[in-house]
Structure 1
């Protein structure tokens, strides 16, 4: 049985947070804008295209951004507004397909192989979606259209901002051949550097590697790398994709050097992570502690449990167990984070059994 060639669209809003701020405040239009905090330990969450011409990028320390662009205007983030606009955009997507996989507030994959509205081409659907987004939100979006997710995401970067690009069936392998592997979505900086050390710089270089060779160096990811070097990606658009982790982190205004201050910060982070988990009726079996020192070196420590974490107090207790071997501090700490992963619904039978068991133990202890 022959399956139809998939038609995948990747929609990516243009400088989303910064564009919302410029839309809502006409005085910011045409100016280099950074969404974030202009403070010593602040970080740029998003940069307008005017700011990007100076080299300002998201995740850049605010002091570095200000040095690159002295006239940079910082605007505090308004995530409730960004979420509301994102909901508007997703309502537009839903007119064309029920197969929507959000990646973040400002981007998503859409499978329009069998669209809800009779449109002969995915390019037409992408054009209509982008026009509707502009008309209804005042914002621009870019789109990539192809026969798989990997190529659609690559294509959406190709005509940014406010454009779209198509990689048709049969053209994927040639399209990726000259691209540096560092530009491949799914290959991070560390993996790209490792590939470079093996003489793999481009898609064409990656294509020369056998699956067994890639498996030797990259383990389970080898099949994915082997496929994308040939323009192949069979991953489906995943509706209601399960969340893999919930985490919170904080960058301190001043380097932390006292264990008591770290303990206090861990308590606050544990409560924030647990509140976010409870809101989604999720818990997890793996706790990860993230620590970034004053010299920007970073380490992580994890512990997995046989059952899900049962509350913020237990989450804090495990985080403290992970932190204690790192004390006393030999360097100041600039960032601390906690992540809960191996998630499960808190209303699952296994979790309910754990809660019942814990309740029984607690009653036994009190009796």
Structure 2
């Protein structure tokens, strides 16, 4: 299974824009208020650093996945523990996103449809993608849907321009300060930090040396568009109203009305979100099945697809039935554990320790 550098770019872009712009605006604006755009700039820089570290660590062993080279770098047992930490992260993300998907679609589109039907529908699609092509199918989906997401995003932002009131971004910095701006950046950073998946994706690339540049550009493109989107929200609603909205970006798009002809475009925003979510779910689903098979030394990783599907269904039912549990997941697991360990500390240690091991091996070889 191989993917190209261009597919990496579109995968990175596509998986980052959807949930980041839908979920993170409300908590970010509560901290940073009208200076929320600064929080997103900080998050963009942080996400770029995370993907840079992840690709540099993975390029130390470009023919091996994270599950394999974590043992080379940290030793067998710490390597296995590292692999388990990432698998727990991937499985819970699938469950959480599926729960968000059913909740969002129920609220916006299909309020009378039972959650389990929505869950089964998307899970069957994920199983089909995993069976038919694995990571290659995800790459092709990114290559097809990514440009659609990008252009739709640009058009929606452009259509909000007539509704913008620039005085609502004032005063700059005076009402927030440095700490609230940094604190507000944690939420978008934790979603942009999902670019850490490059720890696994490098091993699937046909030209791994292109991974860093393509992934960094994917993260930067997503961060720029997301920042413009958050500025639109602030300039239309102001910080006080934005902080009370569940999905501020959807409400912003509902305000679009160009010459009484171009309006009711929230369905386009929903399409962007669904396409982005589908690529993200497909990627996590394939990596969870592939990584689990490698951890337990199962040669045919596709045998694990139905196991991942069942676990994901059970987790999603928990998340979709409890909004509080979803919030607790972000507050008590996603931010303190996943953002800190999986996205920052472990990639940094993999790169540092792996580089030292490589230098030591090269030194021993030259001396020998």
Task: Identify the TM-score tier after normalising by the shorter chain.
Answer: under 0.3
Kindly name which structure, 1 or 2, has the bigger radius of gyration based on alpha carbons. Answer: 1
Q: Which has the higher contact order (CA 8 A, sep 6+)?
A: 2
Higher helix share: 2
TM-score, length of structure 2 as denominator length: 0.23
Higher strand share: 1
TM-score, length of structure 1 as denominator length: 0.23
